[in-house]
Amino acid sequence: MRIDYIDPFVESTRSVLSEIAHLEIKNGAPSLRQSPMPTKDNVAIIGIAGDMEGRIILEMDDKTALAFAGVMNDMSFEELTPIVIDSLSELTNMMIGNAVSRLNDMGFNFAITPPTFIKGKELLSSTPQVEALIVPLDTGYGEVILNIAIKYNIMPAGVTIDMLLRGLEDARKAI
Amino acid sequence: MEQETINIITKKDSSPYRFLLVDDSEFARKNIARIVSMIGGVVAGEASTGKEAIEKYQEIKPDVVLMDISMPEMEGVDAVGRIIQEDKKATIIMVSSLGHKDLVKKAISSGAKHFITKPVQVEYAVKIVRSVLEENEEKNKQ
């Protein structure tokens, strides 16, 4: 069971959000979604390639997005300005970059694309039907969803995403 | 608070070090610029791609380049190699969210002097920049 693929993404997301916002970040219960279609209005997407391929998507609503951009820039924002979008893209880049580095140091081989920030509804036409692992995070500024939509190029025979999900749930309970 | 505890770093003639900041994120450049300012340096230029970094380097000849890795057009490590080809004494420090060992080795072998991982810890970044500049001063004495 390759829970070691998933865990660095969750841990790096928690760690970077916590460091940026100076808040305790709590994991919610992970679940499976038949499609990576986001449920929140704002998404930052990073493409991933190598031992697995797909997208890691960070979802949040307007209020949460503005709050994180505000704390990152030490100022308040009323709308999604270019610097808000850039800040959230960079936030996602730090989370996923840190996770990929941890995985690569463990002997895996992953590469990432620069982040893209878009409104959730615009993702509709370009979202491949890949099963997504959903990890909600309670940040104190609102819920942030880590949406992991990947397929495993070197998944060992007999291992499914359901097995990964059960492994993540076991890990969460053990915390 | 941090500004009160961090000593300013200047050249021997007391002039400020000039930095070129390279990152495709405006937020990241602003964040690094804040650190440059805290140590008494000045931002001589900014670039958002590796290709633009090479052009800016030739134009402004900064004392230090703070270079991201994952960027459009040309990645940071490739830009380091190109800058070092033109100026073997270029002082380049990588600042990236990617920090796995193989990548750090690749950056260093391309000519980067050090590596800082994002999110940038101010005290750590200052320590690294200071040590690289001091090392340069020592080399210049020899």
Residue count of chain A, please give it. 175
Reported as a single tens digit per residue, the pLDDT across A55-110 is 899 999 999 999 999 999 999 999 999 999 999 999 999 999 999 999 999 888 99
B73-76 contacts at long range (C-beta below 8 A, 24 or more positions apart): B73/B49, B74/B49, B74/B50, B75/B50, B76/B22, B76/B50, B76/B107
Task: Provide CB contacts within 8 A for B32, sequence distance 6+.
Answer: B21, B23, B66, B95, B120, B125
CB pairs under 8 A between A and B: 59
> In this structure, is residue B139 part of a structural domain?
no
State how far the Cα of A14 lies from the Cα of B97, in Å rounded to an integer. Answer: 15
By the 8 A CB rule, do B97 and A94 touch? Answer: yes
Is pLDDT above 50 for B1?
Answer: no
State how far the Cα of B20 lies from the Cα of B22, in Å rounded to an integer. Answer: 6
By the 8 A CB rule, do A105 and A17 touch? Answer: no
Chain B hits for A114, CB-CB cut-off 8 Å, are: 24, 70-72
Cβ distance of B98 and A101 shorter than 8 Å: yes
Which residue reads 């380097």 in tokens? B57
Tokens matching residue A30: 């992970």
Interface with chain B: mutation pick from A19, A75, A90, highest number of B CBs within 10 Å: A90
| Burial of A106: CB neighbours in 10 Å, binned 0-12, 13-18, 19+ | exposed
| Burial of A173: CB neighbours in 10 Å, binned 0-12, 13-18, 19+ | exposed
CATH number for the domain harbouring residue B101: 3.40.50.2300
Mean pLDDT on B47-61: 97
| Burial of A34: CB neighbours in 10 Å, binned 0-12, 13-18, 19+ | exposed
Reported as a single tens digit per residue, the pLDDT across B116-129 is 999 999 999 999 99
Mean pLDDT on A137-154: 86
B26: containing domain: 2-6+14-134
Is pLDDT above 80 for A169?
Answer: no
Residue B114: predicted pLDDT:
97
Task: State whether the Cα torsion A76-A81-A83-A87 is positive or negative.
Answer: positive
- What percentage of chain B carries pLDDT values higher than 70? 96
Is pLDDT above 80 for B6?
Answer: no
Cβ distance of A86 and B25 shorter than 8 Å: yes
Mean pLDDT, chain B, whole residue set: 92
Domain boundaries, chain A: 3-174
User: Omega before A82 cis (within 30°)?
Assistant: no
A3-174 adopts what CATH topology?
Answer: Chemotaxis protein chec (3.40.1550)
Reported as a single tens digit per residue, the pLDDT across B74-102 is 889 999 999 999 999 999 999 999 999 99
Is pLDDT above 80 for B140?
Answer: no
Mean pLDDT on B12-17: 92
Cβ distance of B26 and A101 shorter than 8 Å: no
Half-sphere exposure of A87 (CA within 13 A, CB side): 24
What is the ipTM score, two decimals? 0.89
Mean pLDDT on A107-134: 76
Reported as a single tens digit per residue, the pLDDT across B60-76 is 999 999 999 988 888 89
The tally of domains found in chain B comes to 1
- A16: nearest CA partner in chain B: B119
Mean pLDDT, chain A, whole residue set: 82
Half-sphere exposure of B1 (CA within 13 A, CB side): 2
Q: What is the pTM of this model?
A: 0.86
